[in-house]
Amino acid sequence: MGAGHDTVAGELARRAREQGHEARVVDLLRLLPHGLGTGLRLFYRTSIRHFPWAYGGLYRALLRPGPHRRPDGTPLARLAGGGLTDLAERSGADVVVPVFHLAAQLTGHLRDRGLLRPPSAVLLTDFAVHRQWLHPGNDLYLCLTEEAARTVRETVPVPAEATGPVVAPGFFAPGAGAEAWRRRFGAYAPGRPPVVLSAGAWGAASELEGTARLLVGAGFLPVVLCGRNARLRGRLARVPGALVPGWVTDMPGLLHAARVLVDNAAGQTAVQALAAGLPVVGYRPLPGHGAEGVRRMAALGASELAPDPTALLNALRHLAPDGPHRDRRTTRGRELFHADALTRVTALGAMSHA
């Protein structure tokens, strides 16, 4: 769902291949029969873009943590079970790594019933742990934070530990692209601090045009990322003073050149910003696990949460200039990257192979 899960899977596979392992990335939704995966993706994307209240209700009913019993995703995930077990056997896989909650339900179900030979190490990509990530049949959970790992351990009898986010190495050090972005910012709006507004790969955001106008009026340069949402990009391109670059292929350069990221999902763009030393402000979060993740990220001190336009501008005025306030936020964000998830994945795979 979205580019974040794909990005994490791709980076984990890249690291594995770099170390001499074989790695294969599989889209679970493509394993579902009768076009169910395509329909599920379309439903989620449409809900997030146009009917966020509907997804918010779905999250409260099915995904939100709590003591009450709720339906889980296992019945749907089971439909892809044959495809996954066939792939695991044909490839001789030593370990399977779900990076999407429906995949974690499937591997847990299969392992619980002895239908999947290799162990499953779930890479939990959210700051807030919702119940659909959790299945007692999985062998290991690797989490963004110790708080998330503790939540897993308290909920299911499975080992869980914090390894931090999985981010490509290019985000940790400024590359040549950063200077090109700075020149572009300076030519477009000299003297205005560039602030990235991210709507994710699907271009899902609330009142993004109003936020861009607010920032222009306050003396900032909003750099608006609309993902692949061409209609949203067309609307934002008409906001005077906003820069709407289209699909960005050099995210490390952009994040190193910007001064703040305004984020609504606490997803992969947010952790990439933390790796780049870019302060993050959560504002108008998407409903459901997006809002929960934004709140958890802020509670950890890795970002700030702005509940209204005044708070957003105050946060930007504190974070955009160099100084101790900015340094505290960037230091706390970088502290999340303290371990390598692949090390634990390969260790689990080696144990199963032995």
pLDDT in tens, 154-204: 999 999 999 999 999 999 988 789 999 999 999 999 999 999 999 887 777
Asked if residue 250 lies in contact with residue 272, where contact means CB atoms within 8 angstroms, the answer is no
Place 31 in a pLDDT band, splitting at 50, 70 and 90.
confident
CATH of 2-167+339-353, one of 3.40.50, 3.30.70, 2.20.25, 2.30.42: 3.40.50
Residue 352: pLDDT over 90: no
- Segments of the chain assigned to CATH 3.40.50.2000: 169-334
Mean pLDDT, rounded, of the chain:
89
Percent of the chain residues topping a pLDDT of 90: 69
What is the pairing mode between strands 121-123 and 260-263?
unpaired
* Predicted pLDDT of residue 333: 95
pLDDT average, residue stretch 218-237: 93
Residue scoring higher pLDDT (52 or 230): 230
CATH of 169-334, one of 3.40.50.360, 3.40.50.2000, 3.40.50.1580, 3.40.50.970: 3.40.50.2000
Predicted confidence (pLDDT) per residue in 279-291, tens digit: 999 999 987 777 8
What is the pairing mode between strands 194-198 and 221-225?
parallel
* Predicted pLDDT of residue 256: 97
Percent of the chain residues topping a pLDDT of 70: 89
pLDDT average, residue stretch 88-109: 93
